[in-house]
Structure 1
């Protein structure tokens, strides 16, 4: 007798995939997270957010420091731009050097944190680059006539200006003139030039008359051997060339002469330009001005317009 198993008719698996039992490993991977795991994940997210906030804060602090540095640099650049043209390029470069040294001193003393020396711009200049400033011939008598020669100061200033305008002396050469430097019989003047060089040069009768008038009727009584004496007590010679420069600047301002740089060299340049216009050669001008380097005299060739016209090429389109 055959016995049939009652389970045999249920051994056939259904063909529908939706009814396939899910493996245990898959069920274990999709189980919900525990509370500890959620807290740990939240802490990690908070830590990441804090790091981002710290980074953003450091970037903002760095930007603020850079902004403060830029704000501190702007007045320095503006100061150099405003005052670079007040004096010669050499003086402007010296101003920049001094300003850089001052900013380093502030850092050394702890008054500022950032070194602003790099923010000071440089002043570029080229030797013999700009044209020399000079006064037109009609302006020279206008400056000389501004001196009140009825007073002692006016007599002194008039004699100083004549030495600058007629002989082309430098400010220091005028300040160091002594009584024994004048040879009245020969009409010669001994000048102490650059590098302790002595030069003997003739002076015009106009200069001699002005010097004699000042020495006889304007010079203050003193034992000092300098020709030009201070008007204020104690009456002694000028200690530096700055006093001669101030006399020249005051005379230019009284005459209403507007030049880029006021000083004694404007008279020296004017004399060289007048000699060049009168037909003197560059060698002769160098001898009058006592230039040791011929390149220095060559600078005045730039203002000889008549000679430069001969070097100009014709305009391609004809006469303009």
Structure 2
């Protein structure tokens, strides 16, 4: 089973441990299972919800209505703001299904690669729709044409292209134009809308091309939670939600004010950096047989990950 076919529950750990008994049971799971929970944890918080609403608005703009095809949208932000997690979670909540003996992929998630050519794009479409051995008869152009037709045959309503900057920047001009042509051909069918997720410079490219901009284009820049009092409250709520999902026998108290402030200062509010830190601290805590993450675990995890020249001493007190 491919990741595209797995449900959200199979791809992510989303459930919190609300009672001492539930925490204790989680702490007694195998190390491999606990590791999976930590590495695949999904927490719905402010920034996650903003991004999810943006995708949903592009996919189905009318509550209770049908999918809207032929439109372009963007989910933008710097690296580690959680864009990929948001996109993967949205796709997982719209898994493939079978309708009258035909497989249907409502949402297709494609993570772009810096080396992608139009052929690679088509190959990824085939791989992610369970057609990895698609015939190459007729040459490259025919292979690409059939991959685009496959999107139509599978009734793809929304195509999410993650790390979309790799399609348009640091590439040869003819490759960029070829990638644009593929996306335009998909849009011209008017069945599938396209979400471009990536760095904010994607907006510059899309806005410079009328064929994109005039497709109902809208974008949502994702911002990390700042150090303002209001955002720190939201950040503390995020840490509390993470803590409730950690497979330890006791709460780690991540939302305590001093710890919250140090995690925010360390990560600059970027969820990807937060999760890297908690992953490393969790590994240390599990390896020593700890009942929870201790301050010393956070401190040890932060030392090799702090920015070069950062003089601040993190996690010295709770």
TM-score, length basis structure 1: 0.23
Q: Which structure is richer in relative contact order (CA contacts within 8 A, separation 6 or more)?
A: 2
Which protein shows a greater Rg?
1
Which structure shows the bigger proportion of residues in helix conformation?
Answer: 1
Which structure shows the bigger proportion of residues in strand conformation?
Answer: 2
TM-score, length basis structure 2: 0.23
